[in-house]
Amino acid sequence: MTSSENPKNPHHFNVFAAACPSRKLLNDVTRRWSILVLATLLDGALRFGQIRERVDGISDRMLSATLGALAEDRLIVKDDADGTYALTEPGRQIARQSLELFDSLYLALDEIVNAQQTGSGAAGAPAGAAS
């Protein structure tokens, strides 16, 4: 099934098509800092400094640019009254899925690190290989 035939995709967006707006959103969301900021905001609205403290290593300049891009994509909103940033519902959906991606990364790292330590070469069998 192609992504445009996916029943969860009633608009028939196709991230594999260069001109599809889903491609820009995918690019924006999967940037290293963006996905971390989105996941951080799952805990609730946070101020700029609180986000910076939780996302270790991000500079003020990069955080500002990331928040701007996520707001432009309508994944977050800023409450000017109290200076906090919060997820919109689409942002919340993407942030929840990012946690599943993180869990998959952690599981893969266990296997990768084990293979590296034992010197067994590539971790696991090739994807799709019969066992």
Q: What is the dihedral of CA 78, 82, 84, 89, to 10 degrees?
A: -60
Which amino acid is residue 110, in one-letter code?
D
> What domains sit in the chain, N to C, each tagged with a CATH number?
1-30 (no CATH), 32-112 (1.10.10.10)
pTM: 0.77
pLDDT tens, residue order, the chain (131 aa): 454 456 665 677 888 889 988 888 988 898 889 999 999 999 999 999 999 999 999 999 999 999 999 999 999 999 999 999 999 999 999 999 999 999 999 999 988 998 888 887 665 555 555 54
Nearest Cα residue to 31 out of 78, 70, 64 = 70
Q: What is the pLDDT of residue 131?
A: 45
With beta carbons less than 8 A apart as the criterion, state whether 13 and 25 touch.
no
Element (H, E) at 36: helix 32-40
